[in-house]
């Protein structure tokens, strides 16, 4: 069994315990996005990209439990990868999170590909579905017209306040298309971004709220 096959088998067990917004189907969609971007980035390391995609959410703070060794480190250790590969994979994973706008710079082409691939799955029709799936799992309101979207948040502020699902569009999702780092990512993000704007427009009509 090669490292990718082994990694996929191990991470599937972790993602079984996450809600539908971050399950293994999310990983499969991000991998599909990454492969599409990879076709236009011939100098990127496909193995690093795929392993980073598989691992990128296993230690997500939204789901992580207190333990001595993180799921990410536990699984990576079982793969017996060279030190330089482990370092590269961790660098890619560390650069993905939005963190309320406090993101780490994606310095390598592999980091740029995986970040774009993950963020593409956060927008468009799937992004809308995931937002409400996560909000439902956390018992959040669908929308709150009295809630003002936040700017210039700290990571802690971003992660600890339970805002309504629609507010999340303004605090994150509608900002992602302009932050794409690859040309293919930018191209793929346009239609998805436009669809979200149409969705919000229709939601305003149906609710009569100034969302």
- Whole-model pTM? 0.94
Q: Which CATH class is domain 3-207?
A: mainly alpha
62, pLDDT greater than 90? no
What's the pLDDT at 97? 87
205, pLDDT greater than 90? yes
Portion of the chain with pLDDT greater than 90, in percent: 83
Q: Report residue 156's pLDDT band, with 50, 70 and 90 as the boundaries.
A: confident
Sign of torsion over alpha carbons 79, 80, 83, 84? negative
Q: Cα separation of 28 and 162, whole Å?
A: 27
Long-range contacts of the stretch 95-99 (C-beta < 8 A, 24+): 96/52, 96/56, 98/172, 98/176, 99/155, 99/158, 99/159
Provide Rg for the chain, Cα atoms.
17
Of 178, 140, 18, residue with least CA distance to 26: 18
- Alpha carbon 83 to its chain's center: 25
Domain ranges of the chain: 3-207
102-143 pLDDT, tens per residue? Answer: 789 999 999 999 999 999 999 999 999 999 999 999 999 999
51, pLDDT greater than 90? yes
Q: Cα separation of 195 and 171, whole Å?
A: 17
176, pLDDT greater than 90? yes
């Amino acid at each position: 069994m090669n490292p990718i096959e082994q990694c996929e088998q191990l991470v599937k067990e972790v993602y079984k315990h996450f809600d539908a917004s971050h399950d293994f189907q999310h990983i499969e969609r991000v991998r599909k996005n990454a492969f599409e971007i990879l076709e236009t980035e011939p100098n990127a390391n496909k193995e690093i990209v795929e392993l980073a995609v598989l691992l990128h959410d296993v230690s997500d703070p939204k789901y992580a439990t207190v333990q001595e060794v993180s799921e990410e480190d536990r699984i990576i250790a079982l793969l017996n990868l060279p030190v330089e590969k482990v370092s590269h994979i961790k660098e890619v994973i560390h650069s993905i999170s939005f963190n309320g706008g406090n993101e780490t710079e994606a310095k390598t082409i592999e980091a740029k590909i995986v970040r774009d691939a993950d963020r593409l799955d956060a927008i468009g029709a799937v992004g809308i579905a995931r937002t409400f799936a996560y909000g439902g799992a956390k018992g959040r309101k669908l929308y709150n017209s009295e809630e003002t979207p936040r700017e210039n948040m700290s990571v802690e502020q971003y992660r600890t306040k339970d805002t309504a699902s629609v507010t999340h569009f303004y605090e994150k999702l509608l900002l992602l298309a302009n932050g794409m780092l690859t040309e293919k990512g930018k191209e793929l993000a346009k239609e998805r971004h436009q669809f979200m704007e149409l969705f919000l427009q229709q939601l305003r009509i149906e609710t009569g709220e100034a969302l």
